[in-house]
Amino acid sequence: MEGSRRPGWHRLGPAERCSHLASALGIERDEVERAVRDGGIPLEVADRLVEDVVGTFGLPFAIAPNFRIDGRDVLVPMAVEEPSVVAAAANAARLVREGGGFVTACDPPVMACQVQVFADDLATAKARILAARDALVQAAREADPGLAAAGGGPVGIEVRTVDADDPNESFLVVHVLVDVRDAMGANAVNTVGEALAPRLAALAGGRTGLRILTNLADRRLARVEARVPLAALRMEGFEPAQVRDGIVAASRFAELDPYRAVTHNKGIMNGTDAVVVATGNDWRAVEAGAHAYAARDGRYRPLCTWRRDGDDLAGRLEMPLAVGTIGGATRVHPGARLALRVAGADTSTRLAAVAASVGMANNLAALRALATEGIQKGHMRLHGRSR
Ligand code: MEV
């Protein structure tokens, strides 16, 4: 969508914002309003989506302006209950825009199904499974021909040995790697894993245990880089260099202290989750993957860091992001469908790029406030809309 820079956006009312959105999308305002009204989901749809429904539960649905991601202007849908998160994202996006915008690089959408395999002789079982790798990938492809036809499907098999203190408790874990294209992928990989399990048990001369995806989607990383020119960091009462160095020092705090890193990452998830929720995706999966990735080397670390680069401030974020643009709620939830359209997220990778960029924006906004006037004053000012 062209033109995400919308001065005065925060001064409009919801109906006016809907009108702008409608004209940007080339649809009637009524269509936009119907998609976001009453939590964006009709009761009959909610009743089909989950069990034992009595109603629907709404969240504010906002559109953050100013984002430029990979050379494209993006209006960002955010569903979130916390005041100032949307304003903070929009504000930081305006700063990053002055440095050219967010630049992303996302991995292909590869997810893994874990199949747990028990056998008396794990070394032999592992060798036999690895020797049959090509045939297993072919069998996995036949388990979901639709995915292969869409350009995805199984791409590899890995075998890990999980050693327990008592060797009798040790087992193998077969990771069936599947390119899930535009799906979040849980259903796709679980189908493939269940289909392969009997064959794996036979090869191992043993039995299989659990067959389920891993939410540590470390094959599906989203990376974002951003640069803020020194002049853009000007703030009342602070020199731009003070702001920049304060943000770098705040980043170092998170790099050195896990207690701070958790809060730092929570600020990232303020933005990322808001996009994930607005687009009908599984935020628990994204949260679980993000925090596990943050602790991948045994110590919990920040997902986004900031450095001085010349005079400028430069940031880098890396996190797993398993999100989809097809299937699940993205298919049936009118609000989620509108959100995907607004974000221009026509592929899962593009949606991941947007969600990760918004996470980075919220992190930048939080560190800028924390390193200067403090979060209470900074966020209150944003919430008070003096932007
Ligand atoms: C509040 O929702 C998020 C922050 O705590 C993040 C941070 O401390 O970096 C402000």
Question: What does the pLDDT read at residue 386?
Answer: 44
Other Cβ atoms less than 10 A from the Cβ of 150: the count is 15
Three-state SS across 199-225?
HHHHHHCCEEEEEEECCCCCCCEEEEE
| Residue type, position 152, single letter | G
DSSP E strands in the chain: the ranges are: 61-69, 72-79, 103-106, 110-118, 153-162, 171-179, 207-213, 221-228, 304-309, 312-320
Which one of 82, 121, 158, 309 is the catalytic residue?
82
| Residue type, position 255, single letter | E
- Residue bearing the CA closest to ligand 1, atom 3: 267
Test site for ligand 1: of 253, 266, 306, 317, most ligand atoms within 8 A of the Cβ? 266
Average pLDDT, 10 consecutive residues per value, the chain (387 residues): 83 94 93 88 93 95 97 97 97 98 98 98 98 96 90 96 95 98 96 97 98 98 98 96 98 98 98 98 98 98 98 98 93 94 96 98 98 84 62
Question: What does the pLDDT read at residue 3?
Answer: 86
Q: What is the pLDDT of residues 126-140, one digit of tens each?
A: 999 999 999 999 999
Whole-number Å distance between alpha carbons of 231 and 311? 9
Given a contact cutoff of 8 angstroms between Cβ atoms, the answer to whether 152 and 227 are in contact is: no
Test site for ligand 1: of 270, 272, 364, 379, most ligand atoms within 8 A of the Cβ? 270
Tokens at residue 257, please? 């202290």
Tokens at residue 21, please? 């959105």
Global confidence as pTM: 0.96
Whole-number Å distance between alpha carbons of 136 and 115? 13
Residues forming beta bridges with residue 8, ordered by sequence position: none
Which domains does the chain show, CATH number per domain? 62-107+221-386 (3.90.770.10), 110-213 (3.30.70.420)
| Residue type, position 168, single letter | N
Whole-number Å distance between alpha carbons of 348 and 111? 12
Residues forming beta bridges with residue 286, ordered by sequence position: none
Whole-number Å distance between alpha carbons of 106 and 356? 10
- 82 is known as an active-site residue: yes
Whole-number Å distance between alpha carbons of 21 and 205? 59
